[in-house]
């Protein structure tokens, strides 16, 4: 049973960079059937997809955040990370990391990200001076 665990500072100052890591336990991040994703939830609000990464380094970001974020992978540590630049109070949220199951085409020539089947516990990040 895979388990994901977020880590990082719970408090970030405005205009600084938010940095979070997600460690994957009980399974390898090197798996062709999964991508690895970040999702956030503002206090009292809904879920917002941030982006995902494949173990090879292929990434895809939410258009609304792509100019401020980067997601990277450390295969040796079985981790992936999120960096978000120039944060403001509007970035205060619970940040979840999650595993994304892919669905392969009938020919097996390509896959698409499909659903989040395992989640970390989430980490509250507050942006405040």
**Binding footprint of another protein on the chain (CB under 8 A):** 37, 45-49, 52, 60, 62-64, 96, 100-101, 103, 112-117, 119-122
The full length of the chain comes to 129
CA distance 42 to 2: 26
For residues 43 and 76, which CB has a smaller minimum distance to another protein in the complex? 43
CB of 65 to another protein, least distance (A): 11
What HEC string does 67-89 produce?
Answer: CCEEEEEEHHHCEEEEEECCCCH
For residues 17 and 126, which CB has a smaller minimum distance to another protein in the complex? 126
Residue 63: other Cβ atoms inside 10 A = 7
CB of 112 to another protein, least distance (A): 6
For residues 89 and 103, which CB has a smaller minimum distance to another protein in the complex? 103
Q: Taking a C-beta distance cutoff of 8 angstroms, is the pair 70, 57 a contact?
A: no
For 6, 52, 73, 80, 111, the CA distances from 96, given in Å and listed in that order, are 7, 12, 16, 12, 23
CB of 14 to another protein, least distance (A): 26
CB of 24 to another protein, least distance (A): 15
For residues 54 and 127, which CB has a smaller minimum distance to another protein in the complex? 54
Number of H helices, E strands in the chain: 0, 11
């Amino acid at each position: 049973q895979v388990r994901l665990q977020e880590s990082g500072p719970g408090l970030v100052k405005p205009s600084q960079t938010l940095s979070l890591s997600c460690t994957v336990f009980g399974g390898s991040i090197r798996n062709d059937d999964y991508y690895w994703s970040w999702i956030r939830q503002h206090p009292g609000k809904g879920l917002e997809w941030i982006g995902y990464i494949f173990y090879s380094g292929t990434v895809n970001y939410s258009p609304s955040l792509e100019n401020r974020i980067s997601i990277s992978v450390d295969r040796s540590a079985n981790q992936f990370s999120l960096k978000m630049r120039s944060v403001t109070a509007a970035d205060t949220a619970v940040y979840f990391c999650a595993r994304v199951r892919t669905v392969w085409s009938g020919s097996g020539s390509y896959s698409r990200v499909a659903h989040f089947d395992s989640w970390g516990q989430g980490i509250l990040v507050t942006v405040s001076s």
